[in-house]
Structure 1
Amino acid sequence: MHPHSPNWNAQLIGGIEAVMARVFMSASACEGGSLLGGNGRTTKAEGYITSWMKELANPVEMEDSIYELAVGTSWTSPIPKGDFERVKAGLEAIGETRILNDLESTNECSLASLHTDHEALSVIYDGAHCGAWRIIPSHAVPVHGLRNKALGYNPIKAKTYRVDVPRFMKVSGSMSKHLILAEDGKWRCLNGGYAYSYLSSFICGLIKAELSEPGSYRNRIKAYREAITSASVVPSDTQIVVENLAELKEWAQRDLDRIIADTTHSVVGNGIQMNIPKDQSLLYWATSLPSEHTKWVFSESARTEQLYPLSA
């Protein structure tokens, strides 16, 4: 519908770890272009995160509110029936008996305070399984409310920290697919080999590092992106080894058969070793073979590590 009318949407209730996880997860979508800025402009993940850091440093304060919690089957139900077992386990884990007893005994409603019952509400509305929009409608979000820096998250930035950047190699000069030196020391093509996919996964996993070393996200993301964009093309004598053939799913076996029908190869134990396909279509299929079964063999498998000093 045009014109687009943006509105705020309550995602979750929780502490800084939960909030940061949500921010970084959303930021990861910038890399593939599925999350854009205003007017459809391209937005980098680090820019998106920075905008949220500014908001977190000086947040809008929400007054206490009372919510009616009920389990239901409607898509707008405060607690979806299909999610109740998770909610129950979470409330039991924190010793929240009042709300749980109300929901179990009457299956109608229980009253909860945003301030007093924030821990219970954070269990229910974690933003991953259940969104806070179910109890906080968009018109109730205090977008233009008073800000309170005392409630903000604005840690001192880390001055030095270690950036561990994995090695990447381009599959070919004409294809935007990459290999990564995986944790097992083997070169593999993960998640299809797309740069945005590697970056998205990396960004989602940055939460712990960012919380322990505040402000490091920007250099970490830039270094990771640079490692991908500056990657060299694999040598022409690269070999692809597909192991444990009996465990391959039908679709993978079908693609492998298509590749080896036109590629020099040999049977080695319970696997197949083949030259890197010259045909681009076959090479594309090769990058899509299950990464847990497929490794790419060539020299130079060292990781690189750098120490980035930052000014205060």
Structure 2
Amino acid sequence: MGATVTVGKKVAAFKANNGKVGYVLFEETYEKNCYPHTPHWSCVGLGYLDDVMTRIFARASSCEGGSLQGRGGYITPEGYISGWLNELAEPLEMPNFKNKVAFGSNFYATIPESLRERVLKGLEEEGFNEQAKALCVDGFEATLHDDIDVLRAIYVKHRNELGPWRFISSSFAIAHYMPYCKELGYTPLKDKTYQTSVPKMFEVHTERLAVEQPDGVFRVDGASYWCTAMFIASYGLTELAHPGTFRKSIKAFRESVKIAPKASDDTVIVVSMNGLPEDQRYRRGLVQMVADALGKTSTEFETTLGDIRRVATSDNDLMYNLTSLDTLEWKPKITSAPIQQESLFGEMEFA
């Protein structure tokens, strides 16, 4: 399978001109299915401590399904996270890196032209109107120590679309020549009193789990490994608030996945097109297929899992289609399918 192989990690820290401590994450990787295997360094995260902690856990979630591996193959998210925390404890000293921020159409542009509207809107929302105006012309010069908040408004706010390697390019000589600055290291005391808890969940189909969301609604997150990955991705800020708890919390979640109760026939499913934009034709089509299979004239209705099971066949893929829609609301009958887990989502943010 195609996978990214991680072979090295470095953290660099700096005291920004606003007095806050900033961090930059560098990772050495190569692609498993590309030959020759030539590792290269790139910047994979920047910002304040909460920003990079969120980023570390988001990247660690990829270990759960195997899309991020080590040289020897599969690695655990817990081991990967520990490696980053070790680097955070003894960071290198990050110089005041400078680069021009501008829209461009080439692969290495600091901001791709395709993201123009979103980036400009994001800058204006954060109060950086002058930088937004400059971007509309020819861009602007930014330095890491002086403009960290502007860079966060671009590369943290849009982290799922914009990698910070676009600003701190791979040609930047990381590292091995930078002195250590242990005084800026992250070395918290472990929280030994934290009581681990996990969100409520139940199995709606073979290894497909409905998990309680921050708003208290149950939605199908996906296969069991994916649910675990999403839990890991969302745990960064909890680890920051309760240092040293990620291992036992991830372990507890995995155990809950194993013993998740199966949904009973009286589980109610709220089917709706709400939450699905017009351009998501495939997913809207799945809702229509579910409605057609049940003989419904509307795509806004409630049904039960028992009704679904009665009309589901290997030909109509009804259960698969249903569990591929994470916008549907599931209402388990707690009396018939008791769930013992406690919700933790109120203490988290998603990466």
| TM-score normalised by length of structure 1 | 0.76
Whether 1:13 aligns to 2:46 is yes
How many Å separate the matches in 2 of 1:257 and 1:96?
Answer: 50
Match for residue 279 of structure 2?
Answer: none
Query: Does the residue aligned with 2:81 lie in a helix, a strand or coil?
Result: helix
Query: Does the residue aligned with 2:250 lie in a helix, a strand or coil?
Result: helix
How many Å separate the matches in 2 of 1:62 and 1:296?
Answer: 51
How many Å separate the matches in 2 of 1:77 and 1:134?
Answer: 6
How many Å separate the matches in 2 of 1:86 and 1:243?
Answer: 32
Query: Does the residue aligned with 1:164 lie in a helix, a strand or coil?
Result: coil
Could you tell me which of 221, 236, 239 is aligned with 2:266? 239
Cα deviation, 1:216-245, whole Å, max 9, x if unaligned, reads 11111110111112335556xx33544457
Whether 1:138 aligns to 2:170 is yes
Question: Which structure carries more relative contact order (alpha carbon 8 Å, separation 6+)?
Answer: 1
More off after superposition, 154-163 vs 283-292: 283-292
Match for residue 346 of structure 2?
Answer: none
User: Matched residues, percent identical?
Assistant: 32
Shift in Å at residue 4 of structure 1? 1.1
Could you tell me which of 266, 289, 310 is aligned with 1:254? 289
Distance 1:272 1:74, change over 3 A: same
Letter in 2 for 1:216: T
Assess if the C-alpha contact under 8 Å between 2:92 and 2:181 holds in 1.
Answer: yes
Distance 1:18 1:49, change over 3 A: same
Whether 1:103 aligns to 2:135 is yes
Whether 1:71 aligns to 2:103 is yes
Could you tell me which of 174, 184, 204 is aligned with 2:233? 204
Assess if the C-alpha contact under 8 Å between 1:239 and 1:276 holds in 2.
Answer: no
Shift in Å at residue 275 of structure 1? 5.9
Whether 1:304 aligns to 2:341 is yes
Query: Does the residue aligned with 2:251 lie in a helix, a strand or coil?
Result: helix
Assess if the C-alpha contact under 8 Å between 1:12 and 1:122 holds in 2.
Answer: no
Match for residue 121 of structure 1?
Answer: 151
- Give the unaligned 5+ runs of structure 2: 1-33, 275-282, 296-300, 344-351
Assess if the C-alpha contact under 8 Å between 2:308 and 2:318 holds in 1.
Answer: no
Query: Does the residue aligned with 1:147 lie in a helix, a strand or coil?
Result: coil
Match for residue 60 of structure 2?
Answer: 27
Query: Does the residue aligned with 2:244 lie in a helix, a strand or coil?
Result: coil
Letter in 1 for 2:108: T
Assess if the C-alpha contact under 8 Å between 1:189 and 1:287 holds in 2.
Answer: no
Query: Does the residue aligned with 2:69 lie in a helix, a strand or coil?
Result: coil
Distance 1:147 1:171, change over 3 A: same
How many Å separate the matches in 2 of 1:78 and 1:207?
Answer: 27
| TM-score normalised by length of structure 2 | 0.69
Letter in 1 for 2:319: A
Match for residue 177 of structure 1?
Answer: 208
Distance 1:84 1:148, change over 3 A: same
Query: Does the residue aligned with 1:27 lie in a helix, a strand or coil?
Result: helix
Whose Rg is larger?
1
- Give the unaligned 5+ runs of structure 1: 262-269, 307-312
How many Å separate the matches in 1 of 2:212 and 2:145?
Answer: 47
